[in-house]
Amino acid sequence: MLIPLVVMIFTSFKTLPEIHSGNIFIPPSTPYPGAWSQAWSQACVGVECPGLRRFYLNTFLIVVPAVILSTLIGALNGYALTKFDFPAKNVIFGVILFGCFTPYQAVLIPAAKTLSIIGLSGSIGGLILIHTIYGLPFTTMFFRNYYVTVPSELVKAAKIDGAGFFLIFAYILIPISGPMIVVVVIWQFTSIWNDFLLGSSFTFGLNAPIMVAVNNIVNTGTGDRPYNLHMAVAIIAAIPTLTVYILAGKYFVRGLMAGSVKG
C-alpha cells in the first residue's frame, strides 16, 4: 500500500535526467528540492497557474466555513428529528436522506442557475454554499443516528427546568456530541478538499480550489513531462487529508461506533 507513495516521494526529489535513466524504486542520488519549490510558488508559466500557494488559501477559505456550517446545521437537524415531535418528521428525514444518494451530476445545472440568480456564480462564496448544502444530508444523518442513542429524559428534564429549544441544543446536546463532531468534520473536510467536479464547475481562474489547480498543472505544457513536479504537486495537495487521517483516524472510528448501538 505504501509503495506508490514511496515512489512519488522518490520521484519528486529527482531531476528529470535521473528519472528517465534510473529505477523508480531507487532513492534519488542527490535530493533535488527544486520541484517542490516550483510546485508551491510557480508551477507553470502563466497568470492562471501561479503555483499551489494561492489555491491552498482558496481551499481553506472554502473548507473551514463549509465544514462549520454543515456541522452545526446538521447537528441542529439531528436534534430536532430525534428529540422533538412534529408532523411528518419521518417523511422529512426520508427526504433529507434521499440527498445522500443524489449524484453531483444531477444538481449541476440547477445549482449553476441558482448561483447565477443570487450573484455567487464563479466565486468562493458560491462554492461554500454548494458544499454546505450538499453536505447537510450526510451530517444530518450522522447526528440523527447519534442522538437517537441519547436518553430523551435529558431533554425532558431540561424542559421542566425551563430550557428552550436552543438552550437544550447548546448546553446538553452539543457538549456530548464530541465523537460525532469529529466524524462529521473529518468526513466533510476530506470530501470538500478532494472535490474536483464541483470546484471545476462553479469556480474558475484564481478562485479555483486545490484539486482543480492540480489538474491544471498536470495538464499544462507540452513536450517532456516534468514528473518530479507532478509528484510534488500531488503530495503537497494530499498533505492536509493525510494529516487529518493520521492524527484523527482512530477518533473517526470511535465516533462511528459511538452512534451504532442504542441503550
Tell me the CA distances in angstroms from 15 to 4, 162, 225, one per residue in order.
19, 69, 12
Contact assessment for residue 202 and residue 58, using Cβ atoms and an 8 Å cutoff: no
Cβ contacts of residue 173 below 8 Å, gap of 6+?
75, 79, 83, 147, 150
pLDDT tens, position by position, 198-209? 999 998 888 889
| Of 135, 250, 232, 145, the residue nearest 193 (C-alpha) | 135
Percentage of the chain lying above the pLDDT 90 cut: 41
Higher pLDDT pick, 22 / 183: 183
Dist. CA 143–CA 45, nearest whole Å:
46
Closest to 194 measured CA to CA, from 152, 262, 150, 244 = 244
State pLDDT tens for residues 84-113.
Answer: 888 888 899 889 888 888 888 888 999 999
- Spatial distance between the Cα atoms of 188 and 97, rounded to a whole number of angstroms: 16
Residue indicated by cell numbers 528519472? 19
Q: Considering only residues 78 and 224, tell me which one the structure prediction assigns the higher pLDDT.
A: 78
Please give the average per-residue pLDDT across 167-195, as a whole number: 91
DSSP per-residue codes, the chain: --HHHHHHHHHHTS-HHHHHHS-TTSPPSS--THHHHHHHH--SSSTT---HHHHHHHHHHHHHHHHHHHHHHHHHHHHHHHH---TTHHHHHHHHHHGGG--HHHHHHHHHHHHHHHT-TBSHHHHHHHHHHHHHHHHHHHHHHHHTTS-HHHHHHHHHTT--HHHHIIIIIGGG-HHHHHHHHHHHHHHHHT--HHHHHHB-GGG--HHHHHHHHHT---SS--HHHHHHHHHHHHHHHHHHHHHHHHHHHHHHHHTS---
Mean pLDDT (whole number) for 37-53: 68
Question: How much is the pLDDT for 70?
Answer: 95
Query: Residue 57 and residue 240: Cα distance in Å, rounded?
Result: 12
Query: Please, what is the average pLDDT of the chain?
Result: 86
Q: What is the pLDDT of residues 223-233, one digit of tens each?
A: 567 888 899 99
The predicted pLDDT at position 225 comes to 76
Residue of higher predicted confidence among 104 and 139: 139
Using pLDDT thresholds of 50, 70 and 90, give the confidence band for residue 45.
very low
For residues 61 and 222, give the distance between their C-alpha atoms in angstroms, rounded to a whole number. Answer: 32
Domains and CATH numbers, the chain: 61-209+240-258 (1.10.3720.10)
71 compared with 263, residue with greater pLDDT: 71
